């Protein structure tokens, strides 16, 4: 019985919130979409939780895609 109730809860219609667009821009930015998702309760706010290890900090952390030898 509990399993069926959990399945119904997962498939229930979720609230949607319209993304508020800046009139000076043509498209919504990723941050606008994420903000609307947080306000609608679809996602948790993770704006301050980004870790520095996700971003390359030095040149040796980058991947070289193509290089020419002898120059």
pLDDT at 48: 58
What count of other Cβ atoms lies within 10 Å of the Cβ of residue 27?
8
Per domain, the residue ranges of the chain are: 16-44
Query: What pLDDT score was predicted for residue 11?
Result: 73
Per-residue pLDDT, 58: 59
Nearest in space to 14 (alpha carbons), one of 40, 53, 51? 40
pLDDT at position 7 is: 79
Q: State the distance between the two ends of the chain, measured CA to CA, in whole angstroms.
A: 71
Rounded to 5 degrees, what angle do the CA atoms 4, 44, 50 make? Answer: 135
pLDDT in tens, 4-58: 888 777 776 667 777 777 777 777 888 888 888 888 877 777 665 554 455 555 5
pTM (2 d.p.): 0.35
């Amino acid at each position: 019985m509990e399993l069926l109730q959990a399945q119904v809860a997962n498939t229930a219609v979720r609230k949607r919130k319209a993304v508020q667009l800046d009139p000076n821009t043509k498209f919504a930015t990723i941050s606008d979409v994420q903000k609307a998702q947080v306000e609608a309760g679809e996602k948790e706010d993770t704006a301050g939780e980004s870790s520095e290890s996700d971003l390359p900090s030095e040149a040796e952390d980058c991947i070289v895609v193509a290089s020419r030898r002898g120059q």
